[in-house]
Structure 1
């Protein structure tokens, strides 16, 4: 991997990780359209350490408060009713599905799941689901017949059942094209959470899974000796800087904007990939064998 490739791929990772458009799909497609070798699941996992570092800094006050309350609740029964202490447990519970499936499906994630036909299908399917979830949220915010905006759930209403639903949605992002934030936010909206609450929990929930995945891939990459460490580290730094900027923008955007621009973008991109593959202009395994 060249330094220029690492710059572009790091930017793509940072710009798309927190938007509901699938960063893994965009990394895969960037390499395919540029004629580069597929950066692979290991590169994605390692550069995601950079984007998660951005989450740690942006939400540092929330994270410090949650960790402090969680540790104190281990020895103080009174603290177990504290919302921050409960959030610590809910992040752990919500991380279980992706942890189990990530280990179980590791070979598929690094192999068959990277087929561009699967990526395109997931872009479209999850785009439609996100669109439905967004419309339901918009209807409620406008005072729909089923519930009013004030009745949409917030993080204070999160329980173990909802945490597992969020976790199951996050696990779907193991398939390129799904999008971690897109799946978890869609799931949150469908079970009645506000946009801001669904997005905030989505970002917090990703921290253990992404960091664990990145460390796991770092260990394997170090053992294999096939990673271009300089460019990969550079891409990780670029992902951190651009990712932080996107988080700051996205948290303001979702407070009063619809997700529909992302929905139409996902659907259009998915259809374009299907057409290109069907006409032979793009191989479903493009970039995998490129030099």
Structure 2
């Protein structure tokens, strides 16, 4: 891998991780375009850690508020921290459900689901649901203090679908949260904070895959370049998405998903199977 390929992979990961356009699909497509296959999961772990570091730092005040509120409520039962306590519970419930079902479903992800036609179909499905939630569902007004366990279960189930290549994790959580009646700000905040344990957990589970072979084939310098690029462009993606959703609509992401799906179907070899993790 050259340094500029490592840079491009980092940029692609960073920009697509938190947008409702499937980072997995973008990484897979970039691999196909370059004709490159990652040796194991080491490189992807570095990319994901860069993204998770960005969201942790950007939402550091929210993370501290939720964590301290959770433990303070446990010890004091203060009504002031009740909302933070249950918000943390809802994050844990959705994370547990995603992790449990994700491990079960992962065994059913066959090779046919790792091909361009399936990924294109998944992207188009993401686009379709973005249009449905934008055009045919009235936005709710519920905030985190109005959330229930049922909300976290639905969002957890939606997030589980992201085990399928081409289904956007952020898109699935946003769509489900909005469908449950949460307002846009709460849905976005919940989606971002939910990404922390999910991405971190999947990276930790794959940590055993890190080995010297990956460092030798990719290069330590390239890993550092990809990590920094992933961090910087994840931060840019977070800032841009939050600002964009305050004044624009999800339908633009739907259009992008449809265009990308057409590109995948028409430009990539439909018989190629990519090892998606």
Structure-1-length-normalised TM-score = 0.85
Structure 1 counterpart of 2:95: 95
Query: Which consecutive residues of structure 2, in runs of 5 or more, have no partner in the other structure?
Result: none
Provide the residue aligned with 2:146 in structure 1. Answer: 157
* 1:18 corresponds to: 18
Aligned with 1:212 (options 192, 201, 215): 201
Which residue does the alignment assign to 2:259?
Answer: 268
1:152 is displaced (CA, Å) by: 2.2
> Mapping of 1:228-239 within 5 angstroms?
228=218, 230=220, 231-239=222-230
From the superposition, tell whether residues 233 and 160 of structure 1 become closer, same or farther in structure 2 (CA, over 3 Å): farther
What is aligned with 1:117?
117
Determine the structure 1 residue equivalent to 2:44: 44
Q: RMSD of the alignment, in Å?
A: 2.4
**Aligned partner of residue 6 in structure 2, secondary structure:** helix
Match of 1:168 in 2: 157
Q: Deviations over 1:205-229 (max 9, x none)?
A: 111010111122222223x844536
Asked whether the equivalents of residues 69 and 79 of structure 1 are also in contact (C-alpha less than 8 Å), the reply is no
SS in 1 for 2:206: helix
* 1:284 and 2:275 are equivalent in the alignment: no
**Unpaired segments of 5 or more residues in structure 1?**
142-150
Pick from 217, 228, 238: which aligns with 1:247? Answer: 238
CA distance in 2, matches of 1:98, 1:73: 26
TM-score by length of 2: 0.89
| Contact residue 46 and residue 215 of structure 1 kept, 8 A | no
Listed one character per residue, the Cα deviations across residues 149-182 of structure 1 (whole Å, up to 9, x for unaligned) are xx52222211111011111111111222111111
1:12-57 deviation per Cα after TM superposition (whole angstroms, max 9, x unaligned) = 0001111111011001001112222257655334411111111111
Q: Name the CA distance, whole Å, in 2 between partners of 1:92 and 1:25.
A: 26
